[in-house]
A and B are shown apart, each in its own frame.
Chain A
């Protein structure tokens, strides 16, 4: 509760939080099927209908309602982004802590991560999806693998420096167990960088998912996703610009929202700032 209030008190937190909350609402409604129209229903008569009161964002080449498809698309994209970032955070944190704590694994583990990082994100994701075959779950796994090295690095660096801090030495002098030191002294101090990283990674994952779908390797038609909708709009850009504008704006605003929220969280979670806000 306190953290929600703190976000609300923070200017960019308020804007970012509102955007993310709005998207979450749209995503849930879209996934529950509570859309203005059936996203798959083809209203043949109203093909490429411009936005008006019946079709808020117009219709596409097959006469499907863009607004409804956008809502299910957001649901789809968010699902992929959330799961992939969750897996990446979990794996990255474990690997990063392991690398920092057990010096022996450090070199090998980090070189593997360097190899993964050497590939451009979208290329690596493409490679994995091409090998495993397109689909929602392969997208999730591919994006998770792509972003794991970033989390590993974000965790390992500070973990190494925290490990050498005097409060860890102090904990050793009264015989604290490794698990206690890892959770209370390392992980707790990593919450702030991790939270910021998670919000940023969510934005990137959304973008990567859109990229994969755009290239036809993510969500498969007729299901909707933001990237797929953009891809479909390419040839009709001039006749039906709404097909491109709304999904494009949706992607842009969601990324803006996550970034603003990430900034706000970084300020709020810093204990030195806590007093001035709360």
Chain B
């Protein structure tokens, strides 16, 4: 039997001299009918370029295939080499035989057309359906990806749907013509962990239903356990190891695969939490930060005169305290209010109610008036590209009325050294640094004012796994050295497990469970926390069925004057409580 897809010695280059700038260097693999191959690697490993070469989309991105062959067995059992196929043949093959879904569902759909129109388009192109037939087919397609209320959703434009729903729409479009091969390029990276689990479950179910083959590209080796039959690990444009799922996960041969499996934080249900710096009771130290009854509401205006008709209850009665040297992780999905909480603490959004007190740490002489500093998620957006590193690091000092003198410069150099960057970085510009290095710069900038609390808003989410591990180590070291308190906001349970002493789970603007990290992760009490933990992908969960849940997060828009009823708590130990569910 000829395999469905047979790639041999594929070479792809970029730029004017593609032979010299090879990004993919001799990759070979076979894919049989109904099989799933997972391509795993960090950014820059050539995994996306390999996949884009298969449907020849790489040509549009400036790439040139310089060698090898990609043989596809078509529906009529004829074999074509996609490298020599004409553009006309390729247009027929794309969509009809090879479907593709991308990482960013938000940007892959046209924002001004309804999703119905966009799905109908692929039916019109490949199957010649028009009018009512096309609409019916589009509705069926949405039903197939388990979108509730499909007929009505056809009329929606992309902005009216959540990221998870949009990714379902993308999958529906890719499957419109029953392709025999689906290429999924990091389809869940931009999504929340529970949504990710749902999409993965959906893909697994669709694969069973249709018997299609799949190439699944990801940087997260933990994610593939549930779906892949074979794994190919890529590094620097080469496939360093490939084989059956169990063989790779249990007996990795190549050092890079071993590194991926070990350096990457795997969620261990509370068995890998930190043992240092635990909270000690009744020690009488002042908390570094105390938040009491924080409420953030955004008015909803409607009608011709823009009268306030309601309010978005983004954060609704959040309280916690944070001791010096302690990490409190706030976990929850996007839209749950975790970032708004952080921004309110820093005064970037105005809180409607509630008090904060950033407690007096042992008053160091140079302690500034701003004890709370922040590190942002996107290291590419949080540094001004036009300023040198020296100006960037000097800004907090200037902002607080200080002067850039020899002392400041010495401090800048010392901090740079401490976060692991050379002193010569001072004269350079942000674009000369990698994502991980930029995040180190952001950390150095946050430490310029000797804060007692650092808010880390998804600070390692945008980084590659191995870079992520090193930045986390740095954060732990800095915490010990300076006695910093971290407010660590994340959706990644595996990362949270490594750094948090305590965890607060936030859902729909309210804390539903808070307590000691080990206790919360090993014995979650609230149903939402359980769901969140069940959704974490790990290499232990192989081919496990995950129930598809299409419920949406409840609306946070409330009528004017609405007040939630006061929370009732159940206590489950010295430092672990969960909100009583209605």
Contact = CB atoms under 8 A, between A and B. Distances in A.
Interface in A173-201: 173-177, 180, 184-185, 188-189, 191
B439 to A, nearest CB: 12
B393 to A, nearest CB: 11
Interface string B375-400: 01110011111110001000110111
Given A165-B381, A274-B429, A172 B387 contact: no
Interface string B442-454: 1001001100000
Among the interface residues A167, A172, A176, which one has the most CB atoms of the partner chain B within 10 A?
A167
Among the interface residues B369, B395, B445, which one has the most CB atoms of the partner chain A within 10 A?
B395
A61 B386 CA distance: 55
Contact of B395 (A166, A169, A176, A189): A176
Chain B interface SS verdict (over half): loop
B161 to A, nearest CB: 23
Contacts of B395: 171, 174, 176, 180, 184
Nearest to A190: B386
Given A177-B399, A271-B431, A166 B385 contact: no
A19 to B, nearest CB: 29
Contacts of A275: 432
Contact of B374 (A165, A173, A271): A173
B384 A188 contact: yes
Nearest to B372: A173
Contacts of A191: 386
B414 interface: no
A171 B378 contact: no
A13 B388 CA distance: 26
Contacts of B348: 169, 172-173
A176 B382 contact: no
B399 A175 contact: yes
B382 A174 contact: no
B467 to A, nearest CB: 19
B431 A174 contact: no
Interface string B419-440: 0000000000101100000000
A272 B430 CA distance: 10
Given A173-B346, A175-B370, A175-B399, A166 B382 contact: yes
Nearest to A168: B384
A165 B477 CA distance: 29
Chain A interface SS verdict (over half): helix
B373 interface: yes
A170 interface: yes
A180 B398 contact: yes
Contacts of A169: 348, 374, 376, 382
A169 B399 CA distance: 13
A174 B373 contact: yes
B516 to A, nearest CB: 29
Contacts of B400: 174-175
Contacts of A175: 369-370, 399-400
Contacts of A180: 395, 398-399
A176 B448 CA distance: 14
A18 to B, nearest CB: 28
A185 B392 CA distance: 10
A184 B429 contact: no
B399 A171 contact: yes
Contacts of B449: 174
A29 to B, nearest CB: 38
Among the interface residues A171, A174, A180, A191, which one has the most CB atoms of the partner chain B within 10 A?
A174
Nearest to B398: A180
B152 to A, nearest CB: 33
B18 to A, nearest CB: 20
A189 B385 contact: yes
A11 to B, nearest CB: 17
A166 B386 contact: no
Given A166-B381, A271-B431, A275-B432, A173 B373 contact: yes
Contact of A188 (B369, B374, B381, B387): B387
Contacts of B378: 166
A157 B384 CA distance: 17
B381 A167 contact: yes
A189 B386 CA distance: 6
Interface in B445-478: 445, 448-449
B384 A184 contact: yes
B429 A167 contact: no
B386 A176 contact: no
Nearest to A272: B431
Given A173-B373, A176-B398, A167 B346 contact: no
A177 B381 CA distance: 20
B449 to A, nearest CB: 6
Nearest to B373: A173
Nearest to B377: A166
Interface string B341-374: 0000011100000000000000000000110111
B399 A170 contact: no
Nearest to B455: A173
A165 B378 CA distance: 10
Contacts of A274: 429
Interface in A20-44: none
A170 B385 contact: no
Contacts of A172: 346-348
Contacts of B429: 271, 274
Interface of B: 346-348, 369-370, 372-374, 376-378, 381-387, 391, 395-396, 398-400, 429, 431-432, 442, 445, 448-449
Given A165-B382, A167-B382, A170-B445, 12 more contacts: A165-B381, A170-B442, A173-B346, A173-B370, A174-B395, A176-B395, A176-B396, A188-B384, A189-B384, A189-B385, A271-B431, A275-B432
26 contacts: A166-B377, A166-B382, A169-B382, A170-B382, A170-B442, A172-B346, A173-B370, A173-B373, A174-B373, A174-B448, A175-B400, A176-B395, A176-B396, A176-B398, A177-B399, A180-B398, A180-B399, A184-B395, A185-B384, A188-B386, A189-B385, A189-B386, A191-B386, A271-B385, A271-B386, A274-B429
Closest 8 CB pairs of A and B: A166-B382, A174-B396, A176-B399, A166-B381, A188-B386, A166-B376, A167-B384, A173-B374
